[in-house]
């Protein structure tokens, strides 16, 4: 797939995933309506409306304000403000970062994103924003200190590909909807515990007469199970999308630099420092070059570790990049 097909596919996927989430939110809301509002004799589908409202509001908020929220949460400082106050050696490092970002923006053919530095000693980097022209790239202090120019270029190319391929947009929306689903199922579970009981327990006579008793019971059971497993299923789905985008960003980043080994070496250095990146919280993991939690899952391979990892296993990513370099040499 070339760049434009890549972008089109991401746009399609964004819509598909959003529709699936809307249906899911409606299902949770409808169940709530059937069980609680319907039982109380109300006609307004308050549950469905609430579910849609929460999902829509969180998607909207993260689409338009997500980048600012993430940057503020990580205490990222804009490069332009850091540079004048820096010492000589440090200023050279910062200038190098700015140059590398500009180089990659030229290679990708998009406007240069804003550059931020996160005060954290663990090497990591992330991209955020709505898309080309309204994007930001942030790197940690640890990354700047640990990598040389070629390696830094590889990491920036990876983040630039996330921006260019509209991955950031896709993953921001997905993350917001995952949050909304988790929130709603939590509410529903609490409501069930306090409001308690099967829907047919109190108005059994009336329901039986209308012939909907069995159907309502089945719906209730399915709904309950759905709510119980929803957070996990949704999280696993989101992580599956995330891992696919990571491989693609590695590949298209290498296409930009024409030097896969730069990123491969950078990943090796990042991997050797598996300490968690404390400044970056769980919610932004999918935006980073490496899982900021420093979980061992990302180093292991296998079904279970794969299911909930936001990034593919490091050895697999490094092997894929080295294979690209090898093919480049023989071609």
Partner 1 sequence: MIVIVLVAVAAILAIWIVGSYNRLVGLRNQVMNGWRQIDVQLKRRHDLIPNLVSSVRGAMDFERDTLTAVMEARAKAIAATGPADAAQKEGQLTQALGRLIAVAESYPALKSNENVRALMEELTATENKVGFARQFYNDIATKYNTAQQVFPTNLFAATFGFKTAELFEITTDAERDAPVVDLSRK
Binding site for partner 1 (CB under 8 A): 88-89, 91-92, 95-96, 99-100, 102-104, 106-109, 148-150, 256, 258
Closest approach of partner 1 to the CB of residue 8, in Å:
16
Minimum CB distance to partner 1 smaller for 141 or for 203: 141
Mark out the alpha helices in the chain (DSSP H runs): 3-32, 46-73, 79-85, 88-108, 141-146, 149-164, 167-195, 204-210, 213-257, 260-272, 303-307, 314-330
CB 213 within 8 A of CB 135: no
Which residue number, 44 or 331, has a Cβ lying nearer to partner 1?
331
- Shortest approach of partner 1 to residue 255 CB, angstroms? 10
Distance CA 250, CA 253 (A): 5
Measured between alpha carbons, how far is 149 from 174 in angstroms, rounded to an integer? 33
CB of 324 to partner 1, least distance (A): 17
Residue 83 beta carbon to partner 1: minimum distance, rounded to whole angstroms: 12
Backbone φ and ψ for 279, nearest 5 degrees, come out as -70, -20
- Minimum CB distance to partner 1 smaller for 51 or for 324: 324
Catalytic residue among 159, 186, 268, 301: 159
Which residues have C-beta within 8 Å of that of residue 143, sequence separation ≥ 6?
A: 123, 124, 125, 152, 155, 270
Location of structure tokens 């996330």 = 162
* CB-nearer residue toward partner 1: 147 or 238: 147
Contact 303, 243 (CB under 8 A): no
Reply yes or no on whether 151 is catalytic. Answer: no
- Catalogue the active-site residues: 159
């Amino acid at each position: 797939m070339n760049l434009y097909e890549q972008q089109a596919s991401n746009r399609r996927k964004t819509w598909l995933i959003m529709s699936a989430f809307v249906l899911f939110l409606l299902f949770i809301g409808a169940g709530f309506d059937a069980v609680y509002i319907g039982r109380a004799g109300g006609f307004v589908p308050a549950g469905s409306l609430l579910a849609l409202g929460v999902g829509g509001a969180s998607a909207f908020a993260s689409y338009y304000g997500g980048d600012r929220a993430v940057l503020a949460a990580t205490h990222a400082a804009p490069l332009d403000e850091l540079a004048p106050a820096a010492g000589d050696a440090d200023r050279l490092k910062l200038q190098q970062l700015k140059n590398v970002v500009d180089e990659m923006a030229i290679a990708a053919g998009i406007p240069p994103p804003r550059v931020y530095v996160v005060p954290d000693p663990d090497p990591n980097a992330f991209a955020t924003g709505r898309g080309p022209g309204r994007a930001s790239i942030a790197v940690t202090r640890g990354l700047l200190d640990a990598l040389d120019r070629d390696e830094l270029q590889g990491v920036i190319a990876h983040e630039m590909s996330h921006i260019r391929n509209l991955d950031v947009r896709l993953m921001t929306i997905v993350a917001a909807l995952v949050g909304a689903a988790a929130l709603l199922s939590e509410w529903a579970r609490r409501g069930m515990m306090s409001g308690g009981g099967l829907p047919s327990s109190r108005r059994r006579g009336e329901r039986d007469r209308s012939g909907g008793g069995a159907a309502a019971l089945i719906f209730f059971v399915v709904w309950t199970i759905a709510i119980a497993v929803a957070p996990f299923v949704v999280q696993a789905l989101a992580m599956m999308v995330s891992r696919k985008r990571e491989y693609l960003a590695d590949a298209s980043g290498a296409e930009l630099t024409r030097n896969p080994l730069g990123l491969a070496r950078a990943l090796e250095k990042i991997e050797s420092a598996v300490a968690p990146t404390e400044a970056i919280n769980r919610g932004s993991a999918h935006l980073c070059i490496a899982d900021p939690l420093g979980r061992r899952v990302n180093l292991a391979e296998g079904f279970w570790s794969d299911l909930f990892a936001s990034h593919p296993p490091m050895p697999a990513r490094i092997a894929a990049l080295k294979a690209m370099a090898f093919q480049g040499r023989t071609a």
